[in-house]
Structure 1
Amino acid sequence: MKITIERAALLRSLGHVQSVVERRNTIPILSNVLLKAENGELALTATDMDLEIVESVPADIARPGSATAPAHTLYDIARKLPDGSQVELDFTADTLTLRSGRSQFRLGALPVEDFPVMAGGDAGHRFTLSASDLKMLVDRTKFAISTEETRYYLNGIYLHASKAKTGAAEIPVLRAVATDGHRLARVEMALPDGASGIPGVIIPRKTVIEVRKLLDEAADRIEVQLSDTKVRFAFDSIVLTSKLIDGTFPDYERVIPTGNDKVMEVNAGQFAAAVDRVATISTEKSRAVKLSLDRGILTLSASSPEAGSATEEIEVSYDNTALEIGFNSRYLLDITQQIEGDGVRFTLADAGSPTVVRDVADGSALYVLMPMRV
């Protein structure tokens, strides 16, 4: 294999694929990126056995072929080369030689046949959605993904087709849900064409993070292919394939309360700023903040044996009996960061029951937050 490629194109693609590669690998070949040159393009492939990303970039190919090279080392070299430079990659025997200007690097290359290729599988369902819609589904739910490895079935976003009630009618929606047992995020959008029969799938946290990184540079349309065991996202010249989490997502509808009768509306920005200030005093471990509600007034308070205490009052829309309830301040801030409108609505029952949080101006997202003792 012998090719010449622009440094900017090589760096951009290496930046995308090398982030999949784990820094520490017990299997040496998984530290490498597969380079395949043919038909005027260089295809770069990286995998961790559960997730695979392939990106193709135009290249001047003098001799087609394939090679592998250490992903992070190759990326670091490309990053340090001068802007606008041309890069020559020449693979012979078991060595990949990189030349650019007066610089030359010789990298050890492992056999191409050792590089694992993820089987495609039969993608029984295909649909497309806009990059902005996929960003919205990911951004408003990923903060609630569990990091507790023992509950592996919560370590991702549950994507499925469902129905949403609008008045007396029901409309088909594509729904993304994540929960860690303390908070739940549910976001929905109109069901794309072709997605009506999709199975409910759990997309792993690492896949969610990698897809989200790529979406900032993506063209408008993303093709999603789904089977029972894999998901594939294809856009521009990138194809990302991932195994799905093999587990059953819990019946999240059961934890969304329907009988909460106390409604508080507050300016989202003012509320978040007040929570952030008061939480400065709360203990690092619990991060507890108490909300004391009375007609028209919300008093936020926190205390800790070491740091002292803090209180702050803000005006709210609330016309019901007095109520005191405690929450983890970090969870409150995570949810209010998803509120794009000015107003946020809390629907409460009592100090021990879950609270529903919604954006007053946008009904597509719903959040459930479990209270804590303070």
Structure 2
Amino acid sequence: MKFAIERADLVKAVSQAQSVVERRNTIPILANVLIETTPEGVSFRATDLDTEIVYLTNAQVERPGATTVSASMLNDIARKLPDGALVQLDLDPNSGRLSVLAGRSNFSLATLPREDFPVMSSSEYPANFSAPAVVLRRLFDKSKFAISNEETRYYLNGVYMHVAQGEEGPSLRCVATDGHRLARIDAPLPDGAAEMPGVIVPRKTVTELRKLLDDDATPIAVSVSETKVRFATPTITLTSKVIDGTFPDYSRVIPAGNTRKLEVDAGDFAKAVDRVATVSSERSRAVKLSLDEDRLVLSVNAPDSGAAEEELPVAYADEPLEIGFNAKYLHEIAGQIDRENAVFLFNGSGDAALIREGGDTTAVYVVMPMRV
């Protein structure tokens, strides 16, 4: 195998591929990236056995072939090479070492056989559809903050992507919850997605997927089966196993009878929560919302460290209410709201609050109260 590649293309390819490689693993081949020449150029493939990423890039191929080399080492070398360099990768068939040459720099790297590299088996995908990057980015960005970190409830360690009946018709829906807060985001159902099985996309896959969604002009090809999900652009293919579990019936925790309505500037609210939470203890981080006519007082009382209070002008015309929430949860939800106003719907001080983005019904958040 021998080919030449622009340094910028090499950096992009190796950094994308090696991001799925686990820093610590007991199988040496999993620390490597598989480099293969193809009719279209060169592909860089990496996997942790649950997630696989393949990056295809242009290169001047002189001799076809394939090998595997340390992903982190090749990434470090590529980043440290001078800008604009043309990098030549040459596999010596006798020694099995990979030479990396750029200008006066010359590296000789150990390799492992291509045959030892585990390639994720291809499977039939009953559902195949295309969605704009901006749509998928909204679905996952607005829901991923609520993914649970609790390993015992592994079925909550991802985003539940499925087809649902939204308020504006059939929708592609993403839901995440950790039992304390919940995010439910809808988008119009793409053609071909109606028969898609509901799948729980793991946290790591959601993080890797975000890197594919920066270019709004790029359509993302999505393929879904009962056990795998695949997201692909013309240059990158991300394949992942889905979490083998049943996502809970989240509709039961979304309150339907909350009638006390608070409307507040989302940016002002997020900043006020952040300010008053400064004095709260890290363990509880509880903030109290005291509501009266067109008036909201945010307060924190932490006996060990101090107290804080801030008043905000709001639109509120119901009975006075005092209710407490985890400040971090409130701040994170407020940070998701793109529209100017956040709408809170309350029932009582012991009941979950429903939060929406203005009049938009396609983004719904739920947060459980705390005693204050």
Q: Can you list the C-alpha shifts for 1:85-119, whole angstroms capped at 9, x where unaligned?
A: 11111112321111111111111101111100000
2:270 alignment partner, one of 265, 269, 272: 272
- Aligned residue for 1:235? 233
Q: Given that residues 141 and 176 in structure 1 are in contact (C-alpha distance below 8 angstroms), is that contact kept between their aligned partners in structure 2? A: yes
Q: Given that residues 219 and 235 in structure 1 are in contact (C-alpha distance below 8 angstroms), is that contact kept between their aligned partners in structure 2? A: no
**SS of residue in 1 equivalent to 2:145:** helix
Rounded Cα–Cα distance in structure 2 between residues aligned with 1:218 and 1:164:
24
- Aligned residue for 1:369? 367
Q: Give matches, 1:21-32, under 5 Å.
A: 21-32=21-32
- Aligned residue for 1:83? 83
Q: Which amino acid aligns with 2:310?
A: E
2:255 alignment partner, one of 247, 254, 257: 257
Rounded Cα–Cα distance in structure 1 between residues aligned with 2:307 and 2:281:
10
Q: Give matches, 1:78-117, under 5 Å.
A: 78-92=78-92, 93-117=95-119
In the TM superposition, residue 217 of structure 1 has moved relative to its aligned partner by 4.1
- Aligned residue for 1:178? 176
TM-score (norm 1): 0.97
Q: Given that residues 167 and 362 in structure 2 are in contact (C-alpha distance below 8 angstroms), is that contact kept between their aligned partners in structure 1? A: no
Rounded Cα–Cα distance in structure 2 between residues aligned with 1:271 and 1:99:
55
Rounded Cα–Cα distance in structure 2 between residues aligned with 1:106 and 1:301:
62
- RMSD, matched Cα: 1.0
**SS of residue in 2 equivalent to 1:300:** strand
Q: Give matches, 1:122-161, under 5 Å.
A: 122-161=124-163
Q: Given that residues 183 and 331 in structure 1 are in contact (C-alpha distance below 8 angstroms), is that contact kept between their aligned partners in structure 2? A: yes
Q: Which amino acid aligns with 1:221?
A: P
- Aligned residue for 2:13? 13
Matched, 1:55 2:55: yes
Rounded Cα–Cα distance in structure 2 between residues aligned with 1:142 and 1:45:
26
Rounded Cα–Cα distance in structure 2 between residues aligned with 1:241 and 1:214:
12
Q: Given that residues 134 and 216 in structure 2 are in contact (C-alpha distance below 8 angstroms), is that contact kept between their aligned partners in structure 1? A: no
In the TM superposition, residue 158 of structure 1 has moved relative to its aligned partner by 0.4
- Aligned residue for 2:325? 327
In the TM superposition, residue 362 of structure 1 has moved relative to its aligned partner by 2.3
Q: Can you list the C-alpha shifts for 1:160-202, whole angstroms capped at 9, x where unaligned?
A: 1111235xxxx11111000000000000011000011111110
Change (3 A) 1:141 1:78: same
Rounded Cα–Cα distance in structure 2 between residues aligned with 1:28 and 1:204:
24
Q: Which amino acid aligns with 1:237?
A: T
Change (3 A) 1:40 1:202: closer
Rounded Cα–Cα distance in structure 1 between residues aligned with 2:167 and 2:58:
48
TM-score (norm 2): 0.98
Q: Can you list the C-alpha shifts for 1:264-283, whole angstroms capped at 9, x where unaligned?
A: 11111111111111001111
In the TM superposition, residue 25 of structure 1 has moved relative to its aligned partner by 1.2
Q: Give matches, 1:178-327, under 5 Å.
A: 178-217=176-215, 219-327=217-325
In the TM superposition, residue 361 of structure 1 has moved relative to its aligned partner by 4.0
Rounded Cα–Cα distance in structure 2 between residues aligned with 1:209 and 1:287:
27
**SS of residue in 1 equivalent to 2:331:** helix
Rounded Cα–Cα distance in structure 1 between residues aligned with 2:5 and 2:134:
31
In the TM superposition, residue 40 of structure 1 has moved relative to its aligned partner by 5.0
2:120 alignment partner, one of 104, 118, 121: 118
Q: Which amino acid aligns with 1:301?
A: S
Q: Can you list the C-alpha shifts for 1:257-300, whole angstroms capped at 9, x where unaligned?
A: 11112111111111111111100111111111000111111111
- Higher mean alpha-carbon deviation, 213-222 vs 190-199, is at 213-222
- Aligned residue for 1:73? 73
- Aligned residue for 1:36? 36
Q: Which amino acid aligns with 2:149?
A: T
Unaligned runs of 5+ in 1: none
Percent identity of paired positions between Structure 1 and Structure 2: 55
Rounded Cα–Cα distance in structure 1 between residues aligned with 2:195 and 2:140:
21
Rounded Cα–Cα distance in structure 2 between residues aligned with 1:316 and 1:28:
58
Q: Given that residues 294 and 318 in structure 1 are in contact (C-alpha distance below 8 angstroms), is that contact kept between their aligned partners in structure 2? A: yes
